Amino acid sequence: MSRLLPAPDALVGRRIDVAVSKMLGISRAKASELVASGQVRSLTREISKSSALMAGETLEVDLHDETPAPEPIADDMAVVYEDDDVVVVDKPVGVAAHASVGWTGPTVLGSLLERGVRITSYGAPGRQGIVSRLDVGTSGLMLVCKSELAYKEMRRQFAEHEVVKTYHAIAQGNLREDRATIEAPIGRAKVSDFRFTVTPAGKEAITHWDVMERFGEATLVSVNLETGRTHQIRVHFSSIGHPLVGDPMYGANPQLSEALGLDRQWLHAMRLEFRHPRTHVWTTVSSRYPADLQHALDTLRARAAARSRE
C-alpha cells in the first residue's frame, strides 16, 4: 500500500528523513531506511535522505503494514500550568497543535487526551479547547481550555488581543534599531500554498520587537504580537531583510543555520500573560529555551566573542 504525504509547511526546508520521521511518527533511523530503500519517493524529483523537503512537494511512501499506527504521544511535552479551567503546555518542536491532513506525528491535543486531561468539547471537531496555536516548527507555550467557561472567555481574550504573547527570536543580521514596530498586511504567497508574504491584499498584522542582544551576524529580540497571523513573525522579519535564523523558507542563510546546528527557525513562545477566565487574576506563565535553541544561542555568543578578540 502506498500513501501520499503532502509537505506540511512547517517541515519545508527540513531533511527528507527528518520530515518523514515527523510525518509518519517513526524514528529518524527508520525514516532513513525507507528513503534509502526507495520506499519514499518524491512525485517531482529524485531525492536522498539528506535532500531538503520543498514547498508544494508530495512524497509517496510504501507502507507494508496496512493497520494505521496510533498517533504518537509527545512524552517530552511539559505541563507548566494547570487548573480546572486551562492547561498551558511547553510544546516541543515537531508537535502540531491538533491533527490535520498529512500530519501523523504527535499533537498537543492528542497527547493531553492520552494523558487523561479533560478537554472541553467546545471548538471545531479535532480542535476542541484550542483558542490559539503554534506552528509545528515553533516551540513554546500554548494554552488549551478544559472548561466551557474558559473556552468562551479565552477565545474572547485572544480575539480582542488582551492576551500578551511574548516570543524570543533570533533575526539574521544586525538590526538597525533597538526597538520598532512592523505593520504590514500578510496573505498567502502566490508561489506556494504553504508560504505567506506581505501583500496589500492581506490581513492586518502588527509586530512589536525589542533588541535583547546583538551578535553582529544576528540579533536576539523579544517580540510581542498585536495580531496572530500564520507565520507572522517569520514573514515580518523576512520582509525587512532580516529572516529568522534557521528559516530557509523565508530566506535564512543555510550556512549559518548549519554552523549553529539548527534545522528549524530560532523562535520560541517564551511568555504567556492572561486574565484567568474564572478568577480574573492576571496570570503569567514562562518558559525556557529548549536545548537546540540554547546551543545555537551559545554558539552565536562564542562566535561574537571570538571576533571581538581578533
Q: Which residues are catalytic?
A: 135
Cβ atoms of residues 223 and 167 within 8 Å: yes
The grid cell for 162 is 488582551
Residue 77 · residue 92 · CB < 8 Å: yes
Give me the DSSP letters along 196-234: EEE-TTSB--EEEEEEEEE-SSEEEEEEEESS--TTHHH
Answer whether 233's CB lies under 8 Å from 167's CB. Answer: yes
**From the centroid of its chain, how far is CA 282?**
26
Residue-wise DSSP of 229-285 = -TTHHHHHHHHTT-PBTT-GGGT--HHHHHHTT-SS--EEEEEEEEE-TTT--EEEE
